[in-house]
C-alpha cells in the first residue's frame, strides 16, 4: 500500500498522510479515483497509480466547480480514436462552456467540471480506459509510448477529435 509509513516519494521522504487522508486514500483505491485538494494526498495517489500501472484520475473540487485530470503515461495501453472520442464526449457533457479541455493520448482533463457531475465523469472515464485496456491485446512499452506519433515513426493511433463547444 502506497500510503504506509515505509513508502517514500521521489525525494525519499515518507508520505505523511493523516488518518483522514489515509481513509480518503483507501476510498480512492475502491473508486479508482481520488477527490482531494490536498497536495500530499494527490501526490501519494499519483505514485500509487504509477506503481499499479493504472490511470491516475484526480478530482480537485473548488467552490463552484472541479478540475478533473486523467494521466495514463505510465499505463501499458493506448487509447484508440474510438476511446478518445468517447472520453471527449463525456468530458464535454460534464464541463462548462468556459472549460479548458485537453484530450490526448497520455492526458485528458477539464478545468471546469460541473461539481455534482465530477465523480460520475471520473467513473465514466475509468470505464472507457478499462475497455481500451481490454481491447489492447499487445501491451505498450514505455519506449513505444514515447514514440507514438513522432516524426519518422508510424503513427499507431489517430489524432483526437477536435474539441467542440459544450451544450451549456
Tell me whether residue 93 is in a domain: yes
Tell me whether residue 152 is in a domain: no
| Model confidence pLDDT, tens digit, residues 100-133 | 999 988 899 999 999 999 999 999 999 999 999 8
| Model confidence pLDDT, tens digit, residues 45-104 | 999 999 898 999 999 999 999 999 999 988 888 888 899 999 999 999 999 988 999 998
Domain residues for the domain of 77 are: 59-147
pTM: 0.77
CATH number of 83's domain: 3.30.70
**86 to each of 5, 92, 103, 129, how far by Cα in Å?**
39, 10, 10, 10
Total number of domains in the chain: 1
Tell me whether residue 42 is in a domain: no
Tell me whether residue 155 is in a domain: no
Tell me whether residue 76 is in a domain: yes
Amino acid at each position: 500500500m502506497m500510503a504506509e509509513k515505509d513508502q517514500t516519494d521521489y525525494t525519499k521522504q515518507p508520505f505523511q498522510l493523516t488518518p483522514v487522508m489515509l481513509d480518503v486514500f483507501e476510498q480512492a483505491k475502491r473508486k479508482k479515483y481520488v477527490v482531494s485538494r490536498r497536495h500530499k494526498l494527490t501526490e501519494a495517489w499519483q505514485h500509487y497509480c504509477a506503481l499499479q500501472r493504472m490511470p491516475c484520475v484526480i478530482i480537485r473540487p473548488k467552490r463552484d466547480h472541479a478540475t478533473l485530470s486523467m494521466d495514463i503515461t505510465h499505463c501499458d495501453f493506448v487509447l484508440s480514436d474510438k476511446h478518445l472520442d468517447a472520453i471527449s464526449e463525456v468530458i464535454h457533457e460534464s464541463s462548462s462552456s468556459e472549460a479548458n479541455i485537453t484530450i490526448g493520448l497520455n492526458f485528458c482533463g477539464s478545468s471546469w467540471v460541473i461539481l455534482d457531475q465530477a465523480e460520475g465523469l471520473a467513473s465514466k472515464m475509468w470505464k472507457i480506459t478499462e475497455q481500451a485496456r481490454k481491447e489492447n491485446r499487445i501491451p505498450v512499452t514505455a519506449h513505444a509510448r514515447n514514440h507514438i506519433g513522432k516524426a519518422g515513426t508510424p503513427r499507431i493511433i489517430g489524432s483526437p477529435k477536435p474539441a467542440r463547444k459544450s451544450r451549456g
